[in-house]
């Protein structure tokens, strides 16, 4: 009898506790990202929103530092066999992530295996083409994409006798405006952030010329750089020459030059559309945005610009049920409401057409016309081979080489032709190294 009672008690406990533990156990999905500060708060809000909507998965968003820090952390985690589920990698790391076939799980596979509805055509082609294979299969999920625009100081324009609603459209017009602005007392005409991204990569796409062979590297690892073409040389040499009359002022690497615009040292500035939020806070003057300038004598200009920013990669080595959670999260992330909210808060572009129309319908662009500039510019035309994006290995290093050579050109140590030739030669060496390491 005693044994019988025991069995009854135990089976009762098991019957009660077992479903409870199974039900209470949520599957954890780890998301490593590189957004700190205000953007990080928004990321956490997105994760909270997802967790509140369902109770099967628990999404844990962890801030890992800057883009390079996050990518390095992801790589180290993979090497120690404990990677996160989702890793945010900046656009220049795309080639490295793509080449790591055993380390990542392509998004189209994750979505297909989950059985959840997934329509690649719902995404803006200029955004996704960067992260898709040549036959249109999505490798990573776009998350925060931006494109460069021209910021200009409307108050400065008024002071110099220029029409604040007519920003310069072409580079010759920029020169004219800059001369008038300098004459009106401003130390400099214009400067730029992210000089490699804006004045070489986006310059090429905007003018429909290639940066490298094989469709900017999409066609294979045996691509070669060709951004020392006569057009590129002409443009960079013009920038260097414009320094003499302070029409152009070099702002430093990355976006260190932002202070030059907000402190009115220059009245025009090319920077990422995602810099809008920052400028809104720091600029005490009236400013607007407009599309990037172009050389009117180049056929095919303006074409469309390419994106910067980052995308979300799914790491390999997790069980299928966890991938279902990742797919569920991606579906949530791509929903119009979430995307529209993220876009309006950050200045990053909405990645789906539905989100764009939702934002438009909410009257957001009527109140903030400058936020629409970036989108219009990016979707101006259907992307060509030269304006889908780029896919080069070791590209972080290549950008650094570009920074160094451009600095030598602007310091007057080399001509634009010498500098760009040297950059292309050094860059090609890196491409060959990447090819060899990823055979």
Partner 1 sequence: MEKRVVFKHKFLPYLLLAPQILITLVFFIWPASQALYQSFLQEDPFGLSSTFVALQNFKMIFTDEIYLRSIRVTLVFSFSVAVIAMCVALLLAAMADRAIKGATTYKTLIIWPYAVAPVVAAVLWYFLFNPTVGMIAFYLKAIGIRWNHTLNGTQAMILVIIAAAWREISYNFLFFLAGLQAIPKSFIEAAAIDGASPGKRFWTIAFPLLSPTAFFLIVMNIVYAFFDTFGVIHAITEGGPNQATNIMVYKVYHDGFLSLDLGGSAAQSVILMIVVISLTVVQFRYIERRVHY
Binding residues (CB under 8 A) for partner 1: these are 68, 71-72, 75, 78-79, 96, 99-103, 250-253, 256, 259-260, 263, 265, 394, 396-397, 400, 403-405, 407-408, 410-411, 413, 433, 436-439
Tell the smallest beta-carbon distance from residue 191 to partner 1 (Å). Answer: 10
What values do phi and psi take at 290, rounded to 5?
Answer: -150, 170
Alpha carbons 71 and 233: distance in angstroms, whole number: 33
Q: Which is nearer to partner 1, 331 or 397 (CB)?
A: 397
Tell the smallest beta-carbon distance from residue 71 to partner 1 (Å). Answer: 8
Tell the smallest beta-carbon distance from residue 260 to partner 1 (Å). Answer: 6
Tell the smallest beta-carbon distance from residue 436 to partner 1 (Å). Answer: 7
Cis bond upstream, residue 302 (ω within 30): yes
CB atoms within 10 A of CB 391: 25
Q: Which is nearer to partner 1, 66 or 362 (CB)?
A: 66
Q: Which is nearer to partner 1, 18 or 285 (CB)?
A: 285
CA atoms within 13 A on the CB side of 55: 4
* Two structure tokens written together for 394: 């070791």
Tell the smallest beta-carbon distance from residue 188 to partner 1 (Å). Answer: 11
What values do phi and psi take at 227, rounded to 5?
Answer: -85, 25
* Two structure tokens written together for 295: 């050389």
Tell the smallest beta-carbon distance from residue 97 to partner 1 (Å). Answer: 9
What values do phi and psi take at 152, rounded to 5?
Answer: -140, 145
Q: Which is nearer to partner 1, 407 or 421 (CB)?
A: 407
If DSSP codes are grouped into helix, strand and coil, which group holds residue 76?
A: helix
**Long-range contacts at 399-407 (CB < 8 A, ≥ 24 apart):** 399/92, 399/196, 399/197, 401/426, 401/427, 401/430, 402/195, 402/196, 402/200, 402/427, 403/195, 403/196, 403/253, 406/195, 406/196, 406/199, 406/236, 406/250, 407/250
| Alpha carbon of residue 168 to chain centroid | 25
Contact 153, 285 (CB under 8 A): yes
Q: How far is CA 272 from CA 33, 230, 255, 305, 417, in A?
A: 19, 26, 9, 11, 27
The residues with which 144 forms a beta bridge, in sequence order, are: 310
* Residue bearing tokens 């972080």: 396
Q: Which is nearer to partner 1, 219 or 252 (CB)?
A: 252
**Helix (H) or strand (E) run with residue 414 in it:** none
Alpha carbons 30 and 326: distance in angstroms, whole number: 9
Q: Which is nearer to partner 1, 77 or 298 (CB)?
A: 77
Tell the smallest beta-carbon distance from residue 167 to partner 1 (Å). Answer: 24
> Could you tell me whether strands 266-272 and 148-153 are parallel, antiparallel, or unpaired per DSSP bridges?
antiparallel
Tell the smallest beta-carbon distance from residue 72 to partner 1 (Å). Answer: 5
Tell the smallest beta-carbon distance from residue 92 to partner 1 (Å). Answer: 10
Tell the smallest beta-carbon distance from residue 385 to partner 1 (Å). Answer: 27
Q: Which is nearer to partner 1, 46 or 249 (CB)?
A: 249
Q: Which is nearer to partner 1, 263 or 362 (CB)?
A: 263
Tell the smallest beta-carbon distance from residue 425 to partner 1 (Å). Answer: 11
Q: Which is nearer to partner 1, 93 or 347 (CB)?
A: 93
> Could you tell me whether strands 141-146 and 86-90 are parallel, antiparallel, or unpaired per DSSP bridges?
unpaired
Q: Which is nearer to partner 1, 354 or 407 (CB)?
A: 407
Q: Which is nearer to partner 1, 217 or 350 (CB)?
A: 217
DSSP designation for 64? -
């Amino acid at each position: 009898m005693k044994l019988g009672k025991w069995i009854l008690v135990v089976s009762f406990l098991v019957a009660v506790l077992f479903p409870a533990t199974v039900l209470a156990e949520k599957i954890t999905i780890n998301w490593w990202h590189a957004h700190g500060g205000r953007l990080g708060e928004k990321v956490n809000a997105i994760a909270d929103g997802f967790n509140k909507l369902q109770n099967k998965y628990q999404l844990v968003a962890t801030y890992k530092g800057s883009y390079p820090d996050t990518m390095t952390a992801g790589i180290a985690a993979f090497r120690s066999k404990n990677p996160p589920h989702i890793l945010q990698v900046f656009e220049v790391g795309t080639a490295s992530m793509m080449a790591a076939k055993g380390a990542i799980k392509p998004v189209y596979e994750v979505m297909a295996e989950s059985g959840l509805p997934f329509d690649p055509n719902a995404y803006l082609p200029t955004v996704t083409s960067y992260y898709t294979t040549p036959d249109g299969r999505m490798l990573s999920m776009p998350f925060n994409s931006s494109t460069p625009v021209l910021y200009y100081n409307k108050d400065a324009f008024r002071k110099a006798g220029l029409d604040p609603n007519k920003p310069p459209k072409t580079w010759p017009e920029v020169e004219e405006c800059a001369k008038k602005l300098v004459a009106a007392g401003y130390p400099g005409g214009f400067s730029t952030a992210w000089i490699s991204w804006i004045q070489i990569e986006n310059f090429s796409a905007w003018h429909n010329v290639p940066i490298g062979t094989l469709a900017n590297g999409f066609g294979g690892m045996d691509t070669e750089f060709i951004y020392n073409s006569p057009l590129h040389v002409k443009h960079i040499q013009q920038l260097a020459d414009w320094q003499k009359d302070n029409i152009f002022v070099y702002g430093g690497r990355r976006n260190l030059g932002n202070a030059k615009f907000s402190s009115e040292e220059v009245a025009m500035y090319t920077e990422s559309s995602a810099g809008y939020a920052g400028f809104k806070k720091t600029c005490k003057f009236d400013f607007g945005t407009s599309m990037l300038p172009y050389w009117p004598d180049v056929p095919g200009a303006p074409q469309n610009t390419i994106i910067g920013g980052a995308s979300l990669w799914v790491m390999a080595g997790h069980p299928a049920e966890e991938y279902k959670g990742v797919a569920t999260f991606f579906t949530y992330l791509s929903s119009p409401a979430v995307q529209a909210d993220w876009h309006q808060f950050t200045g990053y572009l909405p990645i789906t057409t539905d989100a764009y129309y939702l934002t438009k319908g909410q009257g957001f662009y009527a109140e903030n016309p400058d936020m629409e500039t970036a989108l219009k510019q990016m979707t101006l035309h259907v992307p060509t081979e030269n304006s889908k994006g780029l896919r080069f290995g070791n590209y972080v290093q290549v950008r650094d080489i570009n920074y160094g050579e451009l600095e030598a050109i602007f310091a007057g140590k080399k001509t634009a032709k010498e500098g760009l030739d040297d950059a292309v030669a050094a860059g090609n060496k890196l491409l060959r190294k990447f090819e060899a390491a990823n055979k």
